[in-house]
């Protein structure tokens, strides 16, 4: 089954304790992206990757890191989480045609993070 | 810079009522437009998309949307809603090689 998976689905942590949220897709998609969803703000892009070893900042990258060492995986790293990073996080992937990200983005199930 | 506006934050309808959710965007060039739906506790799913061609696009579950370039709009419609349509709906814009820009979402509550 074609899908995007994220782990963990729920996480409660404390300020300053490094954490990683994993994202994996089995559709051989070149493009992957991380979003955070907050009430009244919709989804905002954190980072995206057009291919292996190619990553770039989205609209709200502060406090986050990503890596893209393999095509299927795109982990989101919070080196020193803070309470304002409490949010619902979604990973997404999409195919590309040349330079254009085409077609729909497929979303993972989400990770609800609480930072105390 | 591009942006997407969804002016209806929360819409409450009775079953069988007609639905229209507004979406306006700001961008001067060629756009791709999407509507995604998020059912309670679930991830986003694509309802429909517009890339080019017929400006009236039909999606899943009886939804449709009309792209009106002169009004920079891409409103979502359904002639008769059901209780199961209760969800949050997001309009999104994609420009060139860039990424998706989402509106703030519209929460739809359908009363049986």
Mean pLDDT of B37-52: 91
Q: Could you read off the pLDDT of A40-61 as tens digits, one per residue?
A: 888 999 999 989 999 999 989 9
For residue B63, the Cα-to-chain-centroid distance in whole angstroms is 9
How big, in percent rounded to 5, are the helix, strand and coil portions of chain A?
A: 5, 55, 45
Mean pLDDT of A89-105: 78
Residue B97 has pLDDT above 60, yes or no: no
In chain B, what residues touch A104 (CB-CB under 8 Å)? 34, 46, 49
A108 vs B43: CB contact, 8 Å cut-off? yes
- Kindly write down the DSSP assignment for every residue of chain B, as one continuous string: --EEE---SEEEEETT--EEE--EEE-SS-EEEEEEEE-TTS-EEEEEEE-SS-SEEE-GGG-EEEEEGGGTEEEEEESS--GGG-EEEEEEEEETT--EEE---EEEEEE-
B44 vs A45: CB contact, 8 Å cut-off? no
Q: Could you read off the pLDDT of B26-41 as tens digits, one per residue?
A: 988 888 899 999 999 8
CB A4 within 8 A of CB A93: yes
Q: What count of Cα atoms within 13 Å lies in the side-chain half-sphere of residue B60?
A: 8
Mean pLDDT of B73-80: 97
Neighbours of B11 (CB within 10 A): 17
Beta strands B10-14; B106-111: pairing state: parallel
CB-nearest to A42 from B49, B96, B104 is B104
Q: Give the nearest chain B residue to A39 (CA atoms).
A: B104
How big, in percent rounded to 5, are the helix, strand and coil portions of chain B?
A: 10, 55, 40
The DSSP call for residue A73 is B
CB-nearest to A101 from B9, B90, B99 is B99
Mean pLDDT of A51-76: 95
Residue-wise burial string across A4-41, b where 16 or more C-beta atoms lie within 10 A, e elsewhere? bebeeeebebeeeeebebebbbeeebbbbbbbbbeeee
- Distance (Å) from the C-alpha of residue B50 to the closest C-alpha of chain A? 10
Cα separation of B84 and B63, whole Å?
13
pLDDT band at A97 (very low <50, low <70, confident <90, very high): low
Residue A101 has pLDDT above 80, yes or no: no
Q: Two tokens at B37?
A: 């739906």
What is the percentage of chain B residues whose pLDDT exceeds 70?
97
Q: Give the nearest chain A residue to B35 (CA atoms).
A: A104
CB A100 within 8 A of CB A83: no
What is the percentage of chain A residues whose pLDDT exceeds 70?
94
CB-nearest to A48 from B94, B99, B101 is B99
Among B16, B10, B24, residue whose Cα is nearest residue B108: B10
The pLDDT assigned to B96 comes to 64
């Amino acid at each position: 089954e074609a899908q995007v998976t994220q782990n963990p689905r729920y996480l409660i942590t404390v300020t300053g304790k490094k954490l990683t949220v994993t994202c994996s897709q089995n559709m051989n998609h070149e493009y992957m992206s991380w979003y955070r969803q907050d009430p009244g703000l919709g989804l905002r892009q954190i980072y995206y990757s057009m291919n292996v070893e190619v990553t770039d900042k989205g609209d709200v990258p502060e406090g986050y890191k990503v890596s893209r060492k393999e095509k299927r995986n795109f982990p989101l790293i919070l080196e020193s989480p803070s309470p304002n990073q409490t949010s619902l996080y979604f990973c997404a992937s999409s195919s590309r045609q040349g330079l254009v990200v085409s077609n729909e983005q497929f979303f993972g199930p989400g990770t609800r993070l609480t930072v105390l | 810079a591009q942006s997407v506006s969804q002016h209806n934050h929360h819409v409450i309808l009775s079953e069988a009522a007609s639905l229209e959710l507004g979406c306006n965007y700001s961008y001067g060039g060629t756009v791709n437009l999407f509507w995604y739906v998020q059912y309670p506790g679930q991830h986003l799913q694509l309802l429909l998309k517009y890339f080019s061609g017929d400006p009236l696009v039909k999606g899943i579950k009886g939804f449709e949307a009309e792209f009106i370039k002169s009004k920079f709009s891409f409103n979502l419609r359904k002639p008769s809603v059901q209780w199961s349509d209760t969800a949050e709906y997001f309009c999104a814009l994609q420009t060139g090689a860039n990424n998706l820009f989402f509106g703030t979402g519209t929460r739809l509550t359908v009363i049986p």
